[in-house]
């Protein structure tokens, strides 16, 4: 239930391609009372995503991936990004199903257990996309090689990284994408708890 009233005056799909763009004409309630003037906003529709940070509690290692990202290239940044595993939720899928599917497709690993981290809006000023993050328990000794789906032109390098080195990447500002940064920061905050609950003798 919204905090304030929202009047949708019109909604129109103005682009229908690999992604969609909807244009809204609307008015919304104001903090001090009354309604706003009519505003027009475009919303980028790309679905909802799941991100998985593979973690090996026995070796205290995370598994990261590296791949080309056209958005980073267009922004003038380094286009080969160090990331976590991620994918879009398809029709009829749950977030947990996507997590298990993507960790296999993008890293070649199997997730023994998933730990829900957080769900957030990716960029609410312009897209409806939400991201649901999980920590995935894996055997990092098996990590490596090039993975991804050929029909999606994926070229994904997989590598294991000691937890301490992952922390250094965060503290030195070397992770430049929000999903990966949020997942690693979550692990930093909960590391001791994860190690206790995913005790190797369990």
User: Per-residue pLDDT tens for 65-101?
Assistant: 999 988 899 999 989 999 999 999 998 999 999 999 9
User: Per-residue pLDDT tens for 3-12?
Assistant: 889 999 999 9
- Tell me whether residue 179 is in a domain: yes
| Residues 66 and 38 occupy one common structural domain | no
CA distance 76 to 167: 25
Q: Domain containing 22: what range?
A: 6-45
- Report the pLDDT value the prediction gives residue 1, as an integer from 0 to 100: 62
**Helix (H/G/I), strand (E/B), else coil: 91:** coil
| Residues 71 and 146 occupy one common structural domain | yes
Other C-beta atoms within 10 Å of 98: how many? 22
- Tell me whether residue 67 is in a domain: yes
Task: Specify the pairing of strand 49-56 against strand 61-68.
Answer: antiparallel
| Residues 70 and 161 occupy one common structural domain | yes
CB 138 within 8 A of CB 153: no
Catalytic site positions: 152
Angle, CA of 35, 39 and 42, to the nearest 5°: 140
| Residues 40 and 60 occupy one common structural domain | no
**Helix (H/G/I), strand (E/B), else coil: 132:** strand
How many domains would you assign to the chain?
2
CATH number of the domain enclosing 190: 3.90.79.10
CB 176 within 8 A of CB 112: no
- Tell me whether residue 56 is in a domain: yes
| Residues 97 and 149 occupy one common structural domain | yes
| Residues 27 and 119 occupy one common structural domain | no
User: Per-residue pLDDT tens for 96-131?
Assistant: 999 999 999 999 999 989 999 999 999 999 999 999
- Report the pLDDT value the prediction gives residue 151, as an integer from 0 to 100: 75
Nearest CA to 61 out of 6, 122, 143 is that of 143
pTM here is 0.88
- Tell me whether residue 145 is in a domain: yes
CB 51 within 8 A of CB 132: yes
């Amino acid at each position: 239930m919204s905090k304030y009233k929202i009047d949708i005056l019109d909604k129109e799909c103005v682009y229908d391609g690999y992604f969609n763009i909807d244009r809204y004409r609307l008015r919304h309630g104001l903090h001090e009372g009354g309604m706003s003037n009519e505003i027009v906003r475009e919303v980028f529709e790309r679905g909802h995503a799941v991100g998985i940070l593979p973690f090996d509690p026995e070796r205290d290692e995370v598994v990261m991936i590296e791949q080309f990202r056209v958005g980073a290239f267009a922004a003038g940044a380094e286009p080969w990004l160090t990331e976590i595993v991620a994918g879009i939720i398809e029709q009829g899928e749950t977030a947990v199903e996507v997590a298990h599917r993507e960790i296999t497709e993008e890293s070649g690993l199997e997730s023994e257990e998933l730990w829900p981290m957080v769900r957030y809006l990716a960029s609410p000023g312009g897209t409806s996309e939400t991201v649901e993050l999980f920590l995935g328990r894996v055997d990092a000794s098996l990590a490596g090689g090039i993975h991804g789906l050929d029909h999606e032109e994926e070229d994904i390098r997989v590598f294991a990284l000691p937890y301490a080195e992952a922390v250094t990447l965060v503290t030195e500002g070397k992770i430049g994408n929000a999903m990966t940064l949020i997942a690693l920061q979550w692990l930093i905050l909960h590391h001791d708890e994860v190690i206790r609950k995913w005790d190797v003798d369990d």
